[in-house]
Amino acid sequence: MKHNLHLMRYSRLLVAIFALLMPQLQLSAQIGGRGVYDFVNAPVTARVAALGGLAAPIDDGDINLALFNPALINASMSNQLNLSYVDYYADINFGSVQYAHDFNKIGSFAAGLQYYNYGSFDYADEGGNRDGQFSAADYVFVLGWGRQLDSSFSIGANAKFIGSAYESYNSFGLAVDVAGTYRTRSGWLMSLTARNIGREMKSFLPGEASAMPFSMQFGVSKRLDHVPFRVMVIYDQLQRWDLTYESSYNNSNTDPISGDKNTKAGFEKFGDQLMRHMLVGGEFYIGKNLSLRASYNYRRRQEMKLTDRAGMVGFSWGLGIRISKFNISYARAAYHIIGSPNYLTITTNLNSFGRK
């Protein structure tokens, strides 16, 4: 009975939080869930990338997951330090540093600085004469807070300070994430996250500021009782049903003879649209110091594959290994057949370096 009362109370709390944010949620949904600063959705840590690049509902005290899902921030992350590097396509590379600390009375905090570097570009006139170079980069500072309300419920929020600098043009924006998690007695973890609620405060050019790439995600995960494996399923973009995107360069749905579109209908159309929301993944634990990770994103595969060659597009995989006081994670995510970005993350707890 007492547990049910707690469930009702915290459910009402989450409903109240989302109700206060509803005007911004409706505005974001009207623009189709996309907007300026879409880079904030790009994962910068190896474990998040291996698990599909969304707010993974896994509560094991890993700071790598916390800043995508602030409801996971808790005291077990206190004094964790994390460094990540992403070797993206061409000369593009990402980097991040994250740190967490717990304050007994007010909750736990996690701060992170993310950097997206797009390389150097040449100035050139209409005749092709080069004269100097310029750079382009994006930055995100995230301050997250999480609090464990009881053994079943936790809530959290992120504040994001976002900046972009492209040559002599710059932009600045603010956003927040809010999230809640619920843990069942049987070991299931359910998480609801609303990400990137905010807007551009200063745009590159004079004019109306744009909204953020808002999204809502619901995920569940469970570590199986008799097998060292955790299964995970995430439903992405709760605020929008039809995520279908047809590229003019992908003619896989075009009849090669008549040139007519082979449009889906009925259950086939429903199934395709449903699967575009779904991400499935898991982790296989080999002892205490090694884990293998993999995930599949149907929507990414449909949007990024080539007509005559799909390869491993839509799949992500990686591993995590503990060596002494360090957790090292590596991942590859197949966005396109031309190659897959490499993700490397090193995490340690500074308390482990203290005197015993």
| pLDDT, tens digit, 9 for 90 and up, residues 93-144 | 999 999 999 998 889 999 999 999 998 888 888 888 888 889 999 999 999 9
| pLDDT, tens digit, 9 for 90 and up, residues 158-181 | 999 999 999 888 999 999 999 999
pLDDT at 12: 55
| pLDDT, tens digit, 9 for 90 and up, residues 261-275 | 556 778 888 999 999
Query: Which two tokens mark 225?
Result: 């009782």
Q: Give the residue with greater pLDDT, 227 vs 6.
A: 227
Burial class (CB in 10 A: 0-12, 13-18, 19+), 111: middle
pLDDT at 289: 94
* Mean residue pLDDT across the chain: 85
Determine the distance from the C-alpha atom of residue 285 to the mean position of all C-alpha atoms in its chain, rounded to a whole number: 22
CATH 1.10.287 fits 2-353, yes or no: no
| pLDDT, tens digit, 9 for 90 and up, residues 191-208 | 999 999 998 998 888 777
Long-range contacts of 314-317 (CB under 8 A, 24+ apart): 316/49, 316/50, 316/51, 316/52, 316/53, 316/281, 317/50, 317/292, 317/293
Say what the pTM is: 0.84
Among 232, 173, 180, smallest CA distance to 53 is for 232
What would the mean pLDDT of 43-65 be, rounded to a whole number? Answer: 93
Contact 88, 132 (CB under 8 A): no
Domain boundaries, the chain: 2-353
Residue 328 pLDDT grade (very low, low, confident, very high; cuts 50, 70, 90) = very high
Of 8-12, 233-237, 346-350, the range with the lowest mean pLDDT is 8-12
pLDDT at 252: 53
Q: Which residues are paired to 113 by β-bridges? A: 97, 141
pLDDT at 31: 40
pLDDT at 246: 64
Of 69-78, 146-155, 198-207, 340-349, the range with the lowest mean pLDDT is 198-207
The structure tokens 């998690």 sit at 181
